[in-house]
């Protein structure tokens, strides 16, 4: 059995980071994040952004292998360097095995481009489970309204019988990790997006520097007010339907 899990939403709302974290967490220890981070630091220098580590990880096909200096030792060793610059990274497919009802199910996590609607919509047709990423800071903005959801109505047309999993991303940011913020965001999403109470809204975050996440693989102690499923549990439930 195989299931396609497609992530969609605006650019910079955490889709690639989320998939990269899941990939690294479920395929460890084959992925040495610390080593890859040294490669990226050496390549990008002052332009290095540690928050993009998981994004780079799932887009590693965009990198070439070659000799670069190790940041710690200075010795030139085999590493990765970016082969494509100034190009939008389009959809990416990554296989992950999940245990669902005692079976190992091959799930393909699909990352769609937030800034290319036509490309995104083509890839959405591949999805059997939809994960809609919405940044909590944008939801809590006073100007947030129904117009945000207009371009994403296509998912309900592609899979009319399925409800998306909505991820309320970046809840680790200051002032957003509270029950009040979560409830306000949920109310606005349900009203403006016309989602019913059966549509899961999961507060999530990937704290890249600490190599950990909230409510992704398991429920987080950092959100005691949230009693729903983790992202992976929600994906498993949706994949059974």
Task: Estimate to the nearest angstrom the gap between the alpha carbon of 14 and the chain centroid.
Answer: 5
Crossing angle for the helix pair 231-240 and 15-27, to the nearest 10 degrees: 90
How would residue 91 be classed by pLDDT, with cut points 50, 70 and 90?
Answer: low
Residue 228 confidence class, pLDDT cut points 50, 70, 90: very high
Q: What is the DSSP string of 39-67?
A: HHHHHHGGG--GGGHHHHHHTGGGEEEEE
Phi, psi of 225 (to 5 degrees): -80, -10
Angle at CA of residue 237, ends 111 and 165, nearest 5°? 45
Residue 150's pLDDT is: 86
Burial class (CB in 10 A: 0-12, 13-18, 19+), 211: middle
Under DSSP, is residue 133 helix (H, G, I), strand (E, B) or coil? strand
Looking at residue 92, its pLDDT comes to: 66
Query: Running DSSP on this structure, what letter comes out for residue 150?
Result: G
With beta carbons less than 8 A apart as the criterion, state whether 230 and 218 touch: yes
- Residue 231 CA, distance from chain mean position: 10
User: Which of 6-10, 67-71, 175-179 bottoms out in mean pLDDT, i.e. has the lowest?
Assistant: 67-71
Does the pLDDT of residue 102 top 50, yes or no?
yes
d(CA 230, CA 220) in angstroms, rounded, equals 8
What 8-state DSSP symbol labels residue 94?
E
Strand 92-100 with 103-111, pairing? antiparallel
- Between 214 and 97, whose confidence is greater? 214
Dihedral of the alpha carbons of 175, 210, 33, 176, in degrees to the nearest 10: -10
Between these two residues, 78 and 215, which has the higher pLDDT value? 215
Structure-model confidence comparison of residues 161 and 72, the more confident one: 161
Residue 147 token pair: 């117009």
Residue range(s) in the chain whose domain bears CATH number 3.40.50.300: 2-25+89-240
Tell me how far apart the alpha carbons of residues 164 and 28 are, in angstroms, rounded to a whole number.
28
For residue 29, the tally of other CB atoms under 10 A from its CB is: 6
**pLDDT > 90 fraction of the chain, expressed in percent and rounded:** 33
Average pLDDT, the chain: 80
Q: What does each C-alpha distance from 223 to 17, 177, 182, 204 come to in angstroms?
A: 20, 7, 10, 9
DSSP secondary-structure letter at 149? G
Q: What is the predicted pLDDT for the residue at 143?
A: 94
Q: What is the pLDDT of residues 122-176, one digit of tens each?
A: 778 878 889 999 999 999 999 999 999 988 877 777 776 678 999 999 999 888 9
Cα separation values, 229 from 140, 167, 182, 202, 218, Å: 22, 11, 15, 7, 8
The model's pTM is 0.82
| CATH numeric code, 2-25+89-240 | 3.40.50.300
The least confident of 97-106, 114-123, 188-197 is 97-106
């Amino acid at each position: 059995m195989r299931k396609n899990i497609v992530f969609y939403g605006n650019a910079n709302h955490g889709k690639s980071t989320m998939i990269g974290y899941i990939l690294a967490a479920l395929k460890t220890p084959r992925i040495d994040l610390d080593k890859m981070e040294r490669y990226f630091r050496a390549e990008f220098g002052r332009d290095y952004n540690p928050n993009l580590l998981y994004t780079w990880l799932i887009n590693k096909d965009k990198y070439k292998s070659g000799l670069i200096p190790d940041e710690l030792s200075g010795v030139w060793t085999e590493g990765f360097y970016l082969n494509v610059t100034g190009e939008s990274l389009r959809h990416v497919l990554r296989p992950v095995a999940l245990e669902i009802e005692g079976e190992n199910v091959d799930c393909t996590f699909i990352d769609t481009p937030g800034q290319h609607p036509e490309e995104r919509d083509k890839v959405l047709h591949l999805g059997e489970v939809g994960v809609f990423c919405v940044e909590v800071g944008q939801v809590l903005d006073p100007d947030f309204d129904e117009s945000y959801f207009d371009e994403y109505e296509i998912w309900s047309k592609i899979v009319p019988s399925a409800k998306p999993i909505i991820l309320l991303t970046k809840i680790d940011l200051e002032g957003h990790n509270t029950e009040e913020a979560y409830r306000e965001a949920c109310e606005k999403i349900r009203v403006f997006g016309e989602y019913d109470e059966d549509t899961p809204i999961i507060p999530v975050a990937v704290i890249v520097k600490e190599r950990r996440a909230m409510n992704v693989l398991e429920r987080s102690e950092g959100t005691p007010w949230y009693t729903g499923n983790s992202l992976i549990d929600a994906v498993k439930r949706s994949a059974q339907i």
